[in-house]
A and B are shown apart, each in its own frame.
Chain A
């Protein structure tokens, strides 16, 4: 299997009448999904191979059909969330230069582009006549990075990248055709898309939800559909725990796997899920869109709750210091078939050294080879030659009960080069003062790490996925 459709077509042959996808609106079999993809591919046959087709759709059966059909036509599927701001949507469409934008009827007027726009519906065609030769190095899909550390960049993921990663997800997390996978994540994001690929690789049934689902609906879905796996970001897992606590056991009793991603998971969330999951376990992974699923972590026992696990099969990870020496505590470099060849229209910013992707993430390995994330190299604040990891400052500040969120950044200073500036979002009704925070820091941090300037904010600039745009705080100081 060398391209994404190889494994999809394989399960269509094996299980044509099996339910492939269930949504709130309807469900479809693998054969019906294949016919929907054939319809899309026929629609796209007037366009040349390797041209970009932007798909702006919510999580629906039609969006999956549009995605698979775009791949079948040998085009590049540019995946966008329907919930993006108009500004971000327009920026991406300008950058991606699609030949066609496929979207749902209700948002077609909101999309501003010079490209042709088309409302996508559910017509099906049994056979696609114009088979095109797709090779593993062809770009399958294009996703723009969420932009937490810099302006969004287009990441073109090849079929070879995607097939390699999908095989790893399936083998490490032991997906099978027996699974029923509840997925409330956007398919326009690497996490959600990777989960969908895994379901289609083994021929399981995908229970697809829109991203804005409420907790009760989610739990009911898990129970009603007899789900065996459930994928969610850490914030969703923590929210479920806060709202339902031990009652979750009733809903999660049959789950064999809860998969989340590498955004820091609170240790207590990991511990709680280990108790709640009687038959299954919680797992996470570390990866970038540029190098998807580079590690996997299956939480088995105490002591490694904050680790993102060990390198995925066939993936090499090393930690490197500023001089390029391999160390136990440094920048994470990744090498493997999951690493993309270059950014969209700008391969110069990749800077691969002999095939290694320099991630900009900082990490350390423990004695057993488990990886722990420690922040970003470009977030490190240099105070008079002393290095300050902002996450350390934030962790200390967040020990105060009145702090909902804190972000530390470096700002220029005449004497010290840089000093720490702290942005703080207080909890509702809090009367905490800047002095209270500084005094707390004096007791818990070295002098040079203590914020010189504190600014209270109502909220932080965030990406479409809710992550804080740290670089915007650095640039708007």
Chain B
């Protein structure tokens, strides 16, 4: 599976009730139903394990879209 597909899968795992056609790389945190601080932690925790990376706390707070997370992972793998 390529990185895009894996990141997309993480979003559907953390937001299981999100319909597939509602996913967008540029959709912002505020437009998600349920992307709160807890969901944020879960996104990062799963991403860390799947891509064997350690997310920097400061940087991780700026991640507010699927594209942000994808870019962050690409720059650290």
- Cβ proximity bits A436-477 to B, threshold 8 Å, 1 near / 0 not: 001100110001101011000000000000000000000000
Chain B residues near A447 (CB, 8 Å)?
34, 36, 38-39, 42
- By the criterion of a CB under 8 Å from any partner CB, how many residues of chain B are at the interface? 14
B37 lies within 8 A of A416 (CB): yes
With both chains docked as a complex, state the minimum distance between the C-beta of A396 and any C-beta of chain B, in angstroms.
Answer: 15
Judged by a CB distance under 8 angstroms, whether B14 is at the interface is yes
Chain A residues near B41 (CB, 8 Å)?
419, 452
* Alpha-carbon gap, A433 to B52, bound state (A): 12
Chain B residues near A452 (CB, 8 Å)?
41-42, 45
Q: Select which of A415, A434, A439, A443 is within 8 A of B37 by beta carbon.
A: A415
Judged by a CB distance under 8 angstroms, whether B16 is at the interface is yes
* Alpha-carbon gap, A190 to B73, bound state (A): 56
Known A-B contacts A415-B37, A447-B34, A447-B38; A442 and B50 likewise in contact (beta carbons under 8 Å): no
Residue among B13, B39, B50 facing the most chain A CB atoms (10 A cut-off): B13
B42 lies within 8 A of A442 (CB): yes
With both chains docked as a complex, state the minimum distance between the C-beta of B18 and any C-beta of chain A, in angstroms.
Answer: 12
B34 lies within 8 A of A439 (CB): no
With both chains docked as a complex, state the minimum distance between the C-beta of B55 and any C-beta of chain A, in angstroms.
Answer: 13
Judged by a CB distance under 8 angstroms, whether B49 is at the interface is yes
B49 lies within 8 A of A435 (CB): yes
* Alpha-carbon gap, A119 to B24, bound state (A): 78
A450 lies within 8 A of B38 (CB): yes
- Cβ proximity bits B41-54 to A, threshold 8 Å, 1 near / 0 not: 11001100110000
Known A-B contacts A442-B13, A442-B16; A435 and B46 likewise in contact (beta carbons under 8 Å): yes
Known A-B contacts A443-B16, A447-B39; A434 and B45 likewise in contact (beta carbons under 8 Å): yes
Beta-carbon contacts under 8 Å, B10-61 to A: 13-14, 16, 34, 36-39, 41-42, 45-46, 49-50
* Alpha-carbon gap, A419 to B45, bound state (A): 13
- By the criterion of a CB under 8 Å from any partner CB, how many residues of chain A are at the interface? 15
B37 lies within 8 A of A435 (CB): no
Closest chain A residue, CB of each to CB of B15: A442
Chain B residues near A453 (CB, 8 Å)?
45
Known A-B contacts A433-B49, A443-B16; A438 and B38 likewise in contact (beta carbons under 8 Å): no
A439 lies within 8 A of B39 (CB): no
Residue among B16, B34, B38, B49 facing the most chain A CB atoms (10 A cut-off): B38
* Alpha-carbon gap, A442 to B45, bound state (A): 12
Closest chain A residue, CB of each to CB of B38: A447
Closest chain B residue, CB of each to CB of A433: B49
Known A-B contacts A442-B14, A442-B16; A435 and B50 likewise in contact (beta carbons under 8 Å): yes
Q: Select which of B16, B42, B49, B50 is within 8 A of A450 by beta carbon.
A: B42
* Alpha-carbon gap, A434 to B46, bound state (A): 8
Chain B residues near A435 (CB, 8 Å)?
13, 45-46, 49-50
A439 lies within 8 A of B45 (CB): no
Known A-B contacts A443-B16, A447-B34; A438 and B46 likewise in contact (beta carbons under 8 Å): yes
With both chains docked as a complex, state the minimum distance between the C-beta of B37 and any C-beta of chain A, in angstroms.
Answer: 6
Closest chain B residue, CB of each to CB of A453: B45
With both chains docked as a complex, state the minimum distance between the C-beta of A435 and any C-beta of chain B, in angstroms.
Answer: 5
* Alpha-carbon gap, A140 to B14, bound state (A): 58
- Cβ proximity bits A82-104 to B, threshold 8 Å, 1 near / 0 not: 00000000000000000000000
Chain A residues near B46 (CB, 8 Å)?
434-435, 438-439
Chain A residues near B14 (CB, 8 Å)?
442
* Alpha-carbon gap, A450 to B34, bound state (A): 14
Known contacts A434-B49, A447-B36, A447-B42; 20 additional CB pairs below 8 A are A415-B37, A419-B41, A434-B45, A434-B46, A435-B13, A435-B45, A435-B49, A438-B42, A438-B45, A438-B46, A442-B14, A442-B16, A447-B34, A447-B38, A447-B39, A448-B38, A450-B38, A452-B42, A452-B45, A453-B45
Chain B residues within 8 Å of A, Cβ to Cβ: 13-14, 16, 34, 36-39, 41-42, 45-46, 49-50
Chain A residues within 8 Å of B, Cβ to Cβ: 415-416, 419, 433-435, 438-439, 442-443, 447-448, 450, 452-453
6 contacts between A and B (CB under 8 A): A416-B37, A438-B42, A438-B45, A438-B46, A447-B34, A450-B38
7 closest residue pairs by CB, A with B? A447-B38, A435-B46, A439-B13, A435-B49, A434-B49, A452-B41, A448-B38
